[in-house]
């Protein structure tokens, strides 16, 4: 009799080996980290003995599930903000909260919580992309799980790096520290093509090749990503990353929702693999990945839960079931992606997708002992038909639930027995996670009330002018302006012609200030658009002081380049009311008696108004200066022949905005 550490005895062994052997009343012998024998119970018990013989009668004994794509520490952000578009969710909520809260401690705690959940759902190996991956690694190793852990690299500052160079240095050190660990495979995770550059991808690939570690990346998750790639670079995403040399490394491409046959071929030729994340893709309405076509092209496709902030759980049973079901509707073919193939993607093929197919993913002699047992006889999975062995897979994929997982072993070590977690203090993890939630809630609640903080959270804000002297008046004829422009005291510095599309976001609380999204189309002499710029302006309620006919405005104004679509800001700020208008603006910068003034001649196109408006304004910084400028404005009104009765005290918004 040969002594081994553990014998799993009895039950149905679903090996997931090349010939898909299923052994009824089987057994597995485990010594140290590896499987030393797989066979019938009678044969194994005749040859091996152990102090740890676990009765698996009434269980399926299967390879541990492989979660090929997640962001483990984001368990702490689960349910933070839902039912939003990907960009609003990511740029508006997720990243600002991450900037505020993500620390090494956050990553350890979040990973611990994720490991508890994943072990409970039968996952033994996962691929992670996040920050402070050293701490993710420490928490994963402590939980006893196997991880392919990718340190994120971005072209903009990240919670753990001021720049991508810092991230690459971090990657290099992280790889050195963890490459020899039995459970951890360090990896490099350039976030996505749109959040990196070809140069960054090239450096990532070189580092990955030098250390023979995988690259984890999001590819073509959204259609917009393909559209932008086409318009910016004239090629789709996969050829673009290929051009950067990325595919020379061992790449795991998450999502691949919007890739075509040609792109699949490129991935296949470079032995890149795909992590299919159906729940995340459906929840964010990213689309349905063409998985059946990928499999037909012999791409290696695994299944991933994606992060708990976009799923919102790490339940592989749900994910595998959805992958199988969704593929049928997408292909309009109920025979597409049968249960056995779906379970293969969650086990052996998932391991292959993470470049560890020779080590784990099936129950075979010599492979690592990553094994789970699943209750085969819960009421939701009864009765059982025996005539076709494939029915085992349909029971596992369509009816088993993560709560049916009874025992989990990774690397020959029990992590869960009879649903008791053996390596983690789940109670403490839950308490600490609840404490984090209180802090994050307070941060977001304060921000929601404060428009300026919401603006700051998405970045790129600069303080505009604070004091302005201005007057506004109606004029019946546009030519009135010539009287001023041709006057001997006026020196013309610059003239510009715009068409302006303004959308105001108005909030119930009048003290909240308001946000204006303005698209300025700069026009040439023929009225053709020369260039377009979009800006966001935040204005707090204005304080006024009168100087003759002119008015001193004191206000704080913040201006940011609006590099996202209007729709993003609308969904992010959620104003109570919106007003829109379109105007033709001619603007002159003039010196009047040597003092700089801005003169606007505005004609409204939406809504159409019979009269035009002249505005004269100047920046100011003191009461004396404001009084001087008000005097000059009064003189200019006289030159223009504008009577006091034509002076307008209201802002455009109060006069003409159309509520939409």
Instruction: Enumerate binding residues for Zn ion (CB under 5 A).
Output: 306
Give the DSSP H/E element, type plus range, for residue 427.
helix 426-449
Report which of 353, 390, 386 is spatially closest to residue 275, judged by C-alpha positions: 353
d(CA 326, CA 341): 13
Closest contact distance (angstroms) between CB of 77 and Zn ion is 13
In the complex with Zn ion, which residue's Cβ is closer, 133 or 306?
A: 306
C-beta closer to Zn ion: residue 12 or 67:
67
Closer to Zn ion at the Cβ: 193 or 657? 193
> Minimum distance between the CB of residue 129 and Zn ion, rounded to whole angstroms?
6
Q: Which is nearer to Zn ion, 306 or 432 (CB)?
A: 306
For Zn ion, the closer CB: 306 or 315: 306
Q: How far is the CB of 500 from Zn ion (least distance, A)?
A: 39
Q: Which tokens sit at 466? A: 């604070």
Report the nearest approach of Zn ion to the CB of residue 172 (Å).
23
Query: Which of helix, strand or coil describes residue 263?
Result: helix
What is the Cα–Cα distance from 112 to 152, expressed in whole angstroms? Answer: 19
Buried b (16+ CB within 10 A) or exposed e, 263-283: bbebbbebebbbbbbbbbbeb
Is-cis flag, bond preceding 25, omega within 30? Answer: no
What the block records as the tokens of 594 is: 């040597």
CB of 67 to Zn ion, least distance (A): 11
Which one, 291 or 640, has the nearer CB to Zn ion? 291
Number of H helices, E strands in the chain: 22, 33
- Give the three-class secondary structure for 268: helix
Instruction: Count other C-beta atoms under 10 Å from residue 442's C-beta.
Output: 10
Least separation in angstroms between CB 220 and Zn ion = 12
Nearer to Zn ion, 192 or 299 (CB): 192
Q: Kindly provide the residue ranges of all beta strands, DSSP E only, lying in 283-418, ordered along the sequence.
A: 301-303, 371-375, 405-410, 413-417
**Which residues share a beta bridge with 504?**
516, 579
**What minimum distance in Å lies between the beta carbon of 221 and Zn ion?**
8
| Shortest Cβ 447–Zn ion spacing (Å) | 24
H or E element: which one contains 625? helix 623-640
Chain residue whose CB lies nearest Zn ion: 306
> Shortest approach of Zn ion to residue 225 CB, angstroms?
13
Structure tokens that stand for 31 in this block: 């010594």
Give the integer Cα–Cα distance in Å for 327 and 335.
9
Q: How far apart are the C-alpha atoms of 137 and 127, rounded to whole Å? A: 11
């Amino acid at each position: 009799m040969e002594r081994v550490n553990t014998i799993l005895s009895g039950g149905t062994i679903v090996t997931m080996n090349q010939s898909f052997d299923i052994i009824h009343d089987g057994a597995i012998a485990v010594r140290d980290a590896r499987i030393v024998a797989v066979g019938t119970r009678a044969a194994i018990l005749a040859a091996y003995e152990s102090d740890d013989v676990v009765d698996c009668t009434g269980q399926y004994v299967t390879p541990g599930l492989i979660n090929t794509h997640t962001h483990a520490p984001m368990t702490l952000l689960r349910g933070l903000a839902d039912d939003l578009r990907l960009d609003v969710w990511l740029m508006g909520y997720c990243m600002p909260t991450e900037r505020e809260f993500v620390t090494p401690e956050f990553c350890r705690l979040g990973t611990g919580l994720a490991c508890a959940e994943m072990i409970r759902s039968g996952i033994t190996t996962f691929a992670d992309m996040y920050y402070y991956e050293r701490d993710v690694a420490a928490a994963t190793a402590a939980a006893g799980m196997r991880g392919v852990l990718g340190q994120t690299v971005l072209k903009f500052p990240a919670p753990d790096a001021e720049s991508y160079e810092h991230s690459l240095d971090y990657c290099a050190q992280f790889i050195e520290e963890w490459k020899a660990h039995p459970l951890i495979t360090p990896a490099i995770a350039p976030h996505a093509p749109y959040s990196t550059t070809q140069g960054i991808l090239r450096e990532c690939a070189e580092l990955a090749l030098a250390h023979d570690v995988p690259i984890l990346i999001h590819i073509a998750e959204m259609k917009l990503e393909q559209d932008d790639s086409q318009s910016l670079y004239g090629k789709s995403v996969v050829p673009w990353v290929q051009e950067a040399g990325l595919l020379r490394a061992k790449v795991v491409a998450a999502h691949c929702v919007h890739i075509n046959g040609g792109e699949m071929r490129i991935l296949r030729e470079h032995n890149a693999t795909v992590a299919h994340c159906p729940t995340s893709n459906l929840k964010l309405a990213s689309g349905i990945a063409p998985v059946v076509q990928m499999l037909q092209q012999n791409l290696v496709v695994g299944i991933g839960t994606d992060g708990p902030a976009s799923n919102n759980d790490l339940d592989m049973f749900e994910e595998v079931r959805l992958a199988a079901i969704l593929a049928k509707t997408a292909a309009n073919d109920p025979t597409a992606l049968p249960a056995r193939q779906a379970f293969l993607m969650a086990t052996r093929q998932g391991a292959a997708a993470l470049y560890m197919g020779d080590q784990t993913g099936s129950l075979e002699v010599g492979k690592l002992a990553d094994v789970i047992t699943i209750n085969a006889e819960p009421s939701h999975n009864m009765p059982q038909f025996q005539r076709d062995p494939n029915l085992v897979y349909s029971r596992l994929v369509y009816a088993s639930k993560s709560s049916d997982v009874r025992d989990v072993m990774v690397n020959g070590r029990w992590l869960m027995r009879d649903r008791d977690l053996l390596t983690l203090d789940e109670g403490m993890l839950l308490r600490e996670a609840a404490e984090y939630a209180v802090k994050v809630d307070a941060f977001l609640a304060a921000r929601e009330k404060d428009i300026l903080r919401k603006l700051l959270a998405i970045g790129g804000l600069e303080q505009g002018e604070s004091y302005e002297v201005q007057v506004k008046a109606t004029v019946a004829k546009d030519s009135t302006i010539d009287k001023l422009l041709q006057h001997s005291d006026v020196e013309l510095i610059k003239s510009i012609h715009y068409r302006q599309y303004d959308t105001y976001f108005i909030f119930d609380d009048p003290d909240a200030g308001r946000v204006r999204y303005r698209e300025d189309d700069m026009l040439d002499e023929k009225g053709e658009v020369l260039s377009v710029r979009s800006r966001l302006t935040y204005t707090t309620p204005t304080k006024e002081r009168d100087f003759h006919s002119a008015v001193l405005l004191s206000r704080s104004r913040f201006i940011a380049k609006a590099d996202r679509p209007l729709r993003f800001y609308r969904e992010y700020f959620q104003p109570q009311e919106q007003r829109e208008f379109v105007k033709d603006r001619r603007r002159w910068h003039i010196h009047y008696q040597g003092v700089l003034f801005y003169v606007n001649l505005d004609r409204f196109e939406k809504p159409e108004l019979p009269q035009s408006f002249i505005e004269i304004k100047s920046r100011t910084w003191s009461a004396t200066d404001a009084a001087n400028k008000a005097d000059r404005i009064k003189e200019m009104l006289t030159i223009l022949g504008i009577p006091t009765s034509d002076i307008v005290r209201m802002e455009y918004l109060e006069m003409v905005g159309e509520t939409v």
